[in-house]
Amino acid sequence: MEKSYPWISQISHHLNGLACVHPCAYHGAAVLNVPRALIFNPQSLKDVDDKPSWSSRKDGFISMQTFKGWKHVDDLVRAIPHLSPNIEKLMAGGGIEHNYMTSKDKCKENYFVNSEKDPDISDLHHGRKIWDVALGNGMQWFGYLSEAVIREKLRTVKCVIDPSWSVAYAKVGDHFNRVVVDGIIEGTIPIARNYGISTNEEGIGEVFKPYENYIMVPHDASPLEFAKVIEKTIYMDEGLVSDIQENNRQLLNHFEKERVGLQFLSLANGHPTGFYGKLEVGTVSDKVKTKTQEIMSDFFKLTNET
Protein backbone atom coordinates (compact mmCIF):
# COMPACT_ATOMS: atom_id res chain seq x y z
CA MET A 1 0.00 0.00 0.00
CA GLU A 2 2.69 2.46 1.05
CA LYS A 3 4.76 1.83 -2.07
CA SER A 4 2.14 1.45 -4.79
CA TYR A 5 -1.15 3.02 -3.68
CA PRO A 6 -0.43 5.89 -1.28
CA TRP A 7 -2.90 8.12 -3.14
CA ILE A 8 -5.75 6.15 -1.53
CA SER A 9 -5.15 8.28 1.56
CA GLN A 10 -6.44 11.24 -0.50
CA ILE A 11 -9.86 9.60 -0.83
CA SER A 12 -9.92 7.67 2.45
CA HIS A 13 -12.75 9.82 3.83
CA HIS A 14 -14.99 8.32 1.13
CA LEU A 15 -14.26 4.72 2.21
CA ASN A 16 -16.21 2.70 4.75
CA GLY A 17 -13.48 0.11 4.91
CA LEU A 18 -10.80 -1.96 3.21
CA ALA A 19 -11.26 -5.69 2.56
CA CYS A 20 -7.73 -7.12 2.54
CA VAL A 21 -7.44 -10.51 0.84
CA HIS A 22 -4.29 -11.79 2.58
CA PRO A 23 -2.18 -10.84 5.62
CA CYS A 24 0.34 -8.92 3.50
CA ALA A 25 -2.43 -6.61 2.30
CA TYR A 26 -3.87 -6.35 5.81
CA HIS A 27 -0.63 -5.43 7.54
CA GLY A 28 0.43 -3.19 4.65
CA ALA A 29 -2.79 -1.19 4.96
CA ALA A 30 -1.89 -0.16 8.52
CA VAL A 31 -0.43 3.00 6.94
CA LEU A 32 -3.97 4.28 6.20
CA ASN A 33 -6.60 5.58 8.60
CA VAL A 34 -9.33 3.39 7.10
CA PRO A 35 -11.06 0.50 8.94
CA ARG A 36 -9.77 -2.79 7.57
CA ALA A 37 -10.55 -6.48 7.89
CA LEU A 38 -8.91 -9.62 6.51
CA ILE A 39 -11.55 -10.96 4.11
CA PHE A 40 -10.49 -13.63 1.63
CA ASN A 41 -11.43 -13.85 -2.03
CA PRO A 42 -14.84 -15.56 -2.29
CA GLN A 43 -15.07 -19.08 -3.72
CA SER A 44 -17.91 -21.38 -4.64
CA LEU A 45 -17.69 -24.60 -2.64
CA LYS A 46 -20.76 -26.18 -4.19
CA ASP A 47 -18.97 -29.29 -5.48
CA VAL A 48 -16.04 -29.32 -3.06
CA ASP A 49 -16.83 -32.79 -1.68
CA ASP A 50 -17.33 -34.36 -5.11
CA LYS A 51 -13.79 -34.77 -6.43
CA PRO A 52 -11.74 -37.67 -7.84
CA SER A 53 -9.80 -39.71 -5.27
CA TRP A 54 -6.03 -39.30 -4.88
CA SER A 55 -5.34 -42.79 -6.24
CA SER A 56 -7.38 -42.16 -9.39
CA ARG A 57 -5.39 -39.05 -10.31
CA LYS A 58 -2.38 -38.96 -12.61
CA ASP A 59 1.09 -38.65 -11.10
CA GLY A 60 1.55 -35.03 -12.05
CA PHE A 61 0.96 -31.35 -11.41
CA ILE A 62 -0.37 -28.20 -12.98
CA SER A 63 1.00 -24.70 -12.45
CA MET A 64 -0.88 -21.65 -13.73
CA GLN A 65 -0.21 -17.95 -13.27
CA THR A 66 0.62 -14.64 -14.86
CA PHE A 67 4.34 -14.74 -15.54
CA LYS A 68 5.75 -11.83 -13.51
CA GLY A 69 9.24 -11.63 -12.10
CA TRP A 70 8.20 -12.34 -8.50
CA LYS A 71 6.23 -15.40 -9.63
CA HIS A 72 9.58 -17.10 -10.32
CA VAL A 73 8.13 -19.49 -12.88
CA ASP A 74 11.68 -20.04 -14.12
CA ASP A 75 12.44 -21.85 -10.84
CA LEU A 76 9.85 -24.49 -11.72
CA VAL A 77 10.83 -24.61 -15.40
CA ARG A 78 14.43 -25.30 -14.36
CA ALA A 79 13.27 -28.17 -12.10
CA ILE A 80 11.36 -30.00 -14.84
CA PRO A 81 14.36 -31.77 -16.47
CA HIS A 82 15.09 -33.38 -13.08
CA LEU A 83 11.63 -34.96 -12.79
CA SER A 84 10.73 -38.52 -13.70
CA PRO A 85 9.41 -38.86 -17.27
CA ASN A 86 6.38 -40.63 -15.75
CA ILE A 87 5.22 -37.40 -14.08
CA GLU A 88 2.73 -35.27 -16.00
CA LYS A 89 3.95 -31.67 -16.16
CA LEU A 90 1.24 -29.14 -17.07
CA MET A 91 1.83 -25.38 -17.36
CA ALA A 92 -0.67 -22.63 -18.16
CA GLY A 93 -0.88 -18.85 -18.17
CA GLY A 94 1.28 -16.23 -19.81
CA GLY A 95 2.71 -12.75 -19.46
CA ILE A 96 5.82 -10.64 -19.89
CA GLU A 97 8.30 -13.12 -18.40
CA HIS A 98 6.91 -15.92 -20.55
CA ASN A 99 7.51 -13.71 -23.57
CA TYR A 100 11.12 -13.17 -22.51
CA MET A 101 11.59 -16.84 -21.69
CA THR A 102 10.46 -17.96 -25.14
CA SER A 103 11.54 -15.02 -27.32
CA LYS A 104 13.62 -15.84 -30.36
CA ASP A 105 15.67 -12.64 -30.19
CA LYS A 106 15.07 -11.14 -26.71
CA CYS A 107 15.30 -14.09 -24.33
CA LYS A 108 16.87 -12.83 -21.09
CA GLU A 109 20.30 -14.15 -20.27
CA ASN A 110 18.87 -15.46 -17.00
CA TYR A 111 16.59 -17.81 -18.94
CA PHE A 112 19.38 -19.84 -20.53
CA VAL A 113 20.86 -22.93 -18.90
CA ASN A 114 24.05 -22.03 -17.07
CA SER A 115 26.39 -23.73 -14.61
CA GLU A 116 25.55 -21.35 -11.74
CA LYS A 117 21.77 -21.77 -11.75
CA ASP A 118 21.70 -25.29 -13.20
CA PRO A 119 24.60 -27.12 -11.53
CA ASP A 120 23.00 -30.56 -11.80
CA ILE A 121 22.00 -30.54 -15.45
CA SER A 122 23.85 -32.15 -18.34
CA ASP A 123 26.50 -30.06 -20.07
CA LEU A 124 24.67 -30.88 -23.30
CA HIS A 125 21.99 -28.37 -22.34
CA HIS A 126 24.28 -25.48 -21.44
CA GLY A 127 23.51 -22.42 -23.54
CA ARG A 128 19.99 -23.59 -24.39
CA LYS A 129 16.79 -21.84 -23.29
CA ILE A 130 15.43 -23.37 -20.09
CA TRP A 131 11.97 -23.34 -21.72
CA ASP A 132 13.11 -25.48 -24.64
CA VAL A 133 14.86 -27.92 -22.30
CA ALA A 134 11.67 -28.24 -20.21
CA LEU A 135 9.54 -28.88 -23.31
CA GLY A 136 12.03 -31.55 -24.35
CA ASN A 137 11.58 -33.19 -20.95
CA GLY A 138 7.82 -33.53 -21.06
CA MET A 139 6.45 -30.13 -20.07
CA GLN A 140 3.05 -29.48 -21.65
CA TRP A 141 2.24 -25.84 -22.33
CA PHE A 142 -1.36 -24.65 -22.72
CA GLY A 143 -1.18 -20.86 -22.63
CA TYR A 144 -4.23 -19.07 -21.28
CA LEU A 145 -7.13 -21.30 -20.25
CA SER A 146 -10.63 -20.60 -19.02
CA GLU A 147 -11.47 -21.21 -15.37
CA ALA A 148 -13.66 -24.18 -16.35
CA VAL A 149 -10.80 -25.86 -18.22
CA ILE A 150 -8.32 -25.12 -15.42
CA ARG A 151 -10.61 -26.71 -12.86
CA GLU A 152 -11.07 -29.73 -15.09
CA LYS A 153 -7.30 -30.18 -15.33
CA LEU A 154 -6.90 -29.69 -11.57
CA ARG A 155 -9.14 -32.72 -11.08
CA THR A 156 -6.83 -34.94 -13.15
CA VAL A 157 -3.51 -34.38 -11.33
CA LYS A 158 -2.28 -34.74 -7.76
CA CYS A 159 -0.64 -31.36 -7.16
CA VAL A 160 -0.90 -27.66 -7.93
CA ILE A 161 2.38 -25.72 -7.84
CA ASP A 162 2.73 -22.02 -7.07
CA PRO A 163 6.45 -21.17 -7.50
CA SER A 164 6.08 -17.50 -6.51
CA TRP A 165 7.94 -15.82 -3.68
CA SER A 166 8.94 -12.31 -2.66
CA VAL A 167 11.18 -11.28 0.22
CA ALA A 168 9.74 -7.76 -0.03
CA TYR A 169 6.16 -9.01 0.42
CA ALA A 170 7.27 -11.41 3.15
CA LYS A 171 8.59 -8.50 5.19
CA VAL A 172 4.99 -7.24 5.40
CA GLY A 173 2.95 -10.45 5.66
CA ASP A 174 1.79 -13.72 4.07
CA HIS A 175 1.08 -13.28 0.37
CA PHE A 176 -0.57 -16.46 -0.90
CA ASN A 177 -2.15 -16.57 -4.35
CA ARG A 178 -5.66 -17.61 -5.28
CA VAL A 179 -4.40 -20.53 -7.40
CA VAL A 180 -3.46 -22.34 -4.19
CA VAL A 181 -7.09 -22.16 -3.04
CA ASP A 182 -8.33 -23.20 -6.49
CA GLY A 183 -6.15 -26.29 -6.26
CA ILE A 184 -7.39 -27.13 -2.77
CA ILE A 185 -11.02 -26.89 -3.89
CA GLU A 186 -10.36 -29.39 -6.67
CA GLY A 187 -8.63 -31.87 -4.34
CA THR A 188 -4.96 -31.32 -5.16
CA ILE A 189 -2.13 -30.94 -2.66
CA PRO A 190 -0.53 -27.49 -3.01
CA ILE A 191 3.22 -27.06 -3.36
CA ALA A 192 4.36 -23.50 -2.55
CA ARG A 193 7.35 -21.45 -1.39
CA ASN A 194 8.20 -20.35 2.14
CA TYR A 195 8.48 -16.66 1.25
CA GLY A 196 5.43 -16.89 -0.98
CA ILE A 197 3.03 -18.18 1.62
CA SER A 198 4.61 -17.00 4.87
CA THR A 199 7.11 -14.54 6.33
CA ASN A 200 9.75 -17.02 7.51
CA GLU A 201 12.15 -19.69 6.27
CA GLU A 202 10.06 -22.43 7.89
CA GLY A 203 7.07 -21.49 5.72
CA ILE A 204 4.72 -21.21 8.71
CA GLY A 205 2.04 -18.74 7.71
CA GLU A 206 -0.90 -17.24 9.53
CA VAL A 207 -3.28 -19.13 7.22
CA PHE A 208 -1.28 -21.98 5.65
CA LYS A 209 1.06 -24.31 7.53
CA PRO A 210 3.63 -26.68 5.92
CA TYR A 211 2.66 -30.35 5.92
CA GLU A 212 -0.73 -29.36 7.35
CA ASN A 213 -2.06 -27.39 4.38
CA TYR A 214 0.70 -27.46 1.77
CA ILE A 215 4.17 -28.81 0.99
CA MET A 216 6.93 -26.21 1.19
CA VAL A 217 9.81 -25.55 -1.21
CA PRO A 218 12.49 -23.14 0.10
CA HIS A 219 12.76 -19.96 -1.96
CA ASP A 220 16.45 -20.69 -2.60
CA ALA A 221 16.06 -24.37 -3.48
CA SER A 222 18.14 -25.60 -6.41
CA PRO A 223 16.27 -27.00 -9.44
CA LEU A 224 17.15 -30.54 -8.32
CA GLU A 225 15.94 -29.85 -4.76
CA PHE A 226 12.70 -28.38 -6.14
CA ALA A 227 12.18 -31.49 -8.28
CA LYS A 228 12.75 -33.81 -5.32
CA VAL A 229 10.03 -32.05 -3.30
CA ILE A 230 7.62 -32.39 -6.24
CA GLU A 231 8.30 -36.11 -6.63
CA LYS A 232 8.09 -36.73 -2.88
CA THR A 233 4.71 -34.98 -2.78
CA ILE A 234 3.29 -36.83 -5.76
CA TYR A 235 4.26 -40.17 -4.22
CA MET A 236 3.28 -39.14 -0.70
CA ASP A 237 1.66 -41.58 1.73
CA GLU A 238 -2.11 -41.52 1.27
CA GLY A 239 -2.61 -41.14 5.01
CA LEU A 240 -0.77 -37.81 5.00
CA VAL A 241 -2.64 -36.81 1.85
CA SER A 242 -5.93 -37.48 3.59
CA ASP A 243 -4.89 -35.43 6.63
CA ILE A 244 -3.87 -32.44 4.50
CA GLN A 245 -7.06 -32.61 2.46
CA GLU A 246 -9.18 -32.67 5.62
CA ASN A 247 -7.27 -29.72 7.10
CA ASN A 248 -7.81 -27.80 3.89
CA ARG A 249 -11.49 -28.70 3.76
CA GLN A 250 -11.91 -26.97 7.12
CA LEU A 251 -9.80 -24.00 6.01
CA LEU A 252 -11.94 -23.53 2.90
CA ASN A 253 -14.88 -22.46 5.05
CA HIS A 254 -13.17 -19.07 5.40
CA PHE A 255 -13.31 -18.64 1.60
CA GLU A 256 -16.96 -19.68 1.12
CA LYS A 257 -18.67 -16.97 -0.96
CA GLU A 258 -21.77 -16.47 1.21
CA ARG A 259 -19.66 -16.21 4.35
CA VAL A 260 -17.41 -13.71 2.59
CA GLY A 261 -20.46 -11.76 1.45
CA LEU A 262 -21.69 -11.43 5.03
CA GLN A 263 -18.22 -10.26 6.07
CA PHE A 264 -18.38 -7.49 3.47
CA LEU A 265 -21.69 -6.35 4.94
CA SER A 266 -20.21 -6.39 8.44
CA LEU A 267 -17.24 -4.34 7.24
CA ALA A 268 -19.54 -1.82 5.57
CA ASN A 269 -21.49 -1.46 8.81
CA GLY A 270 -18.39 -1.02 10.93
CA HIS A 271 -18.53 -4.35 12.77
CA PRO A 272 -15.53 -6.58 13.63
CA THR A 273 -15.30 -9.34 11.01
CA GLY A 274 -13.12 -11.41 8.70
CA PHE A 275 -10.48 -14.05 9.42
CA TYR A 276 -9.18 -12.10 12.41
CA GLY A 277 -12.65 -11.29 13.69
CA LYS A 278 -11.73 -7.67 14.20
CA LEU A 279 -11.70 -4.23 12.62
CA GLU A 280 -8.57 -2.10 12.93
CA VAL A 281 -7.81 1.46 11.88
CA GLY A 282 -4.24 2.42 11.05
CA THR A 283 -2.39 5.75 11.04
CA VAL A 284 -1.34 7.55 7.87
CA SER A 285 2.43 7.25 7.64
CA ASP A 286 4.78 10.10 6.80
CA LYS A 287 5.85 8.21 3.68
CA VAL A 288 2.25 7.98 2.49
CA LYS A 289 1.77 11.70 3.09
CA THR A 290 4.89 12.55 1.11
CA LYS A 291 4.14 10.22 -1.80
CA THR A 292 0.52 11.35 -1.94
CA GLN A 293 1.69 14.96 -2.18
CA GLU A 294 4.03 14.02 -5.03
CA ILE A 295 1.35 12.13 -6.94
CA MET A 296 -1.79 14.20 -6.33
CA SER A 297 -0.34 17.71 -6.23
CA ASP A 298 3.19 18.15 -7.56
CA PHE A 299 2.79 15.84 -10.55
CA PHE A 300 -0.54 17.20 -11.74
CA LYS A 301 0.54 20.80 -11.10
CA LEU A 302 3.60 20.28 -13.28
CA THR A 303 1.52 18.61 -15.98
CA ASN A 304 -1.03 21.42 -16.05
CA GLU A 305 1.65 24.09 -16.32
CA THR A 306 3.29 22.20 -19.14
CB atoms near residue 93 (< 10 Å): 19
State in Å, rounded, how far the first CA of the chain is from the last one.
29
Q: How far apart are CA 94 and CA 3, in angstroms?
A: 26
Domain spans, the chain: 6-42+256-305, 58-255
Residue-level pLDDT at 121: 85
Residue-level pLDDT at 305: 53
Residue-level pLDDT at 281: 96
User: Which burial class, exposed, middle or buried, applies to 21 when counting CB atoms under 10 A from its CB (0-12, 13-18, 19+)?
Assistant: middle
* 58-255: CATH topology: Rossmann fold (3.40.50)
Residue-level pLDDT at 303: 53
Q: Residue 287: CB partners within 8 Å, gap ≥ 6?
A: 2, 6, 31
Predicted TM-score (pTM) of the model is 0.92
Residue-level pLDDT at 117: 86
Residue-level pLDDT at 300: 64
pLDDT along the chain (306 residues), means of 10: 86 92 95 96 91 95 95 97 97 96 94 88 85 97 95 97 96 93 97 97 97 97 97 96 96 97 97 97 91 77 53
Residue-level pLDDT at 301: 63
